[in-house]
Amino acid sequence: MKKIFFVLCLLLSLYLCTGCGKNEQVVDNTVYVKTQTIDYGASSNEDNYAGVVKGRYETNLAFQVSGKILSRNINLGDRVSAGDVLMVIDDKDIRQSVNAYDAQVEAAKSQLNLAQSNLARYEQLYAANAVSAQSLDQYQNAYDSALSAYNQAVAQATQGYNSLGYTQLVANANGVISSVSGETGQVVSAGQTVAVLIQDGEREIEISIPENKIQDISIGQNATVDFWALKGTTAQGVVRELSPIADAVAKTYKVRISLVNPPSDIQLGMTANVIFTGANNGDTNISLPLSALYQVENKTQVWIVNDASCVELKDINVISLGKNDVIVSGLNKGDVVVTAGVHKLYEGQSVKLADGDTL
């Protein structure tokens, strides 16, 4: 009886083991991934930059001679006309020099008249064979020297009178005084800026572009400009000037935008917003999140989801790095790039796209 019971238990155990084997499940290694599909033709971007309204021509005004400022006829924000006297420096020393130059001119003129008279007299004597040619040459040389001395004295006097005129700082055009640094009683040197004049006429917008975006800006590029103080007012602009060197501190590039149709009520110093909008139109550069990069030794790669829903690595070139994104090349239109969790994947792994993504 016990033997029969033992055999039945053994058979039951074998049956249960066989049943368990039939229900064993295959492990599924498929993972969900976040992706970005490359589509150059359909992609577009809009970048906004804050700027300030400036004048097309801004002149740093300075005296051409050194001296002490006697009077200042302008204040910040004053409108001036071409020819207006803005500042005057003490001309006492320069006037004394001019007087000395005038005296030198008179002395040189007297010497020239004497040399000319002697030369004329000896020319008559030489014609009458009363003197030798050598004697005539001596008086000719004396006349030539006197003439040179006279011309030199006149040139010095002219320079002195020019310097006397430079003691008045005169506006070179109609405009607005945007800065005044020279004060009455201050001693300034020649070429030292004492005021800034913004000339009437064209107005521009000055903006600063970060280094990771400067490659997107080019001379002649179109932009739209609106103004914080002029709600609903927009203007068209064109990139006129692009600084080749970044600011040493801010690491940004100065860009000047010329206004094609500036509003009549625009004012200097107003805050402006410059908008660059454009499609890639076949451009092979694309922006990806930094999390999409897969670095192996010296190669930068991304995971591409192929038609079989498996991932494979693809080499790319990094154009520029931003804080949270990267500009790359080497991708084709239609490539599906994994943008998160790239270091958990392996070559040929089966994946599924996260909700909202399509293959």
Regarding whether 227 and 315 lie in a shared domain, the answer is no
pLDDT (tens digit, 9 = 90+) per residue, 245-263? Answer: 999 888 899 999 999 888 8
Domain membership of residue 12 (yes or no) is no
- With b for 16 or more beta-carbon neighbours within 10 A and e for fewer, the 51-69 pattern comes to bebbbeeebebebebbbeb
Q: Is the pLDDT of residue 26 over 60?
A: no
Task: Write out the residue range of the structural domain in which residue 117 sits.
Answer: 92-165
Say which residue, 305 or 330, is predicted with more confidence: 305
Domain boundary among 150, 177, 197: 197
Least confident segment among 43-52, 108-117, 126-135, 178-187: 43-52
- Eight-state DSSP code of residue 266: -
Residue 321 is predicted with a pLDDT of: 73
Q: Where residue 328 sits, what CATH number does that domain have?
A: 2.40.420.20
Regarding whether 188 and 66 lie in a shared domain, the answer is yes
Tokens 């139109």 sit on residue? 281
pLDDT (tens digit, 9 = 90+) per residue, 199-241? Answer: 998 899 999 999 888 888 999 999 999 999 998 889 999 999 9
- Eight-state DSSP code of residue 290: G
Domain membership of residue 25 (yes or no) is no
3-state secondary structure 302-336: EEEECCCCEEEEEECEEEEECCCEEEEECCCCCCE
Regarding whether 184 and 149 lie in a shared domain, the answer is no
pLDDT (tens digit, 9 = 90+) per residue, 331-350? Answer: 888 899 999 888 889 999 99
Domain boundary among 279, 297, 323: 279
What is the domain count for the chain? 4
Say which residues have a Cβ less than 8 Å from residue 24's Cβ, sequence separation at least 6: none
Regarding whether 190 and 79 lie in a shared domain, the answer is yes
Q: Write the CA distances from 349 to 172, 246, 294, 321, integer angstroms.
A: 73, 45, 15, 28
Q: Where residue 263 sits, what CATH number does that domain have?
A: 2.40.30.170
Regarding whether 265 and 213 lie in a shared domain, the answer is yes
Q: Where residue 107 sits, what CATH number does that domain have?
A: 1.10.287.470
Q: Where residue 74 sits, what CATH number does that domain have?
A: 2.40.50.100
Helix, strand, coil percentages in the chain from 3-state DSSP, rounded to 5: 30, 40, 35
Q: Is the pLDDT of residue 20 over 80?
A: no
Q: Return the closest-CA partner of residue 94 out of 134, 55, 67, 132.
A: 67
Regarding whether 107 and 120 lie in a shared domain, the answer is yes
Residue 8 is predicted with a pLDDT of: 42
Regarding whether 218 and 249 lie in a shared domain, the answer is yes
Regarding whether 347 and 336 lie in a shared domain, the answer is yes
Helix (H, G, I), strand (E, B) or coil at 293: coil
Tokens 């008086």 sit on residue? 139
Tokens 């991304």 sit on residue? 302
- With b for 16 or more beta-carbon neighbours within 10 A and e for fewer, the 118-143 pattern comes to bbeebeeebeeeebeeeebeebbebb
Other beta carbons within 10 Å of 75: 8
Domain membership of residue 24 (yes or no) is no
Residue 31 is predicted with a pLDDT of: 85
Helix (H, G, I), strand (E, B) or coil at 248: coil
Domain boundary among 247, 279, 311: 279
- Eight-state DSSP code of residue 260: S
Domain membership of residue 15 (yes or no) is no
Backbone torsion region of residue 227, taken as left when φ is above 0, otherwise alpha when ψ lies between -120 and 50, otherwise beta: beta
pLDDT (tens digit, 9 = 90+) per residue, 259-277? Answer: 988 888 898 989 999 999 8
Q: Is the pTM of this model over 0.85?
A: no
- Eight-state DSSP code of residue 31: E
Regarding whether 312 and 265 lie in a shared domain, the answer is no
Regarding whether 63 and 35 lie in a shared domain, the answer is no
- What does residue 334 show for φ and ψ, rounded to 5 degrees? 100, -15
Residue 42 is predicted with a pLDDT of: 47
Regarding whether 125 and 250 lie in a shared domain, the answer is no
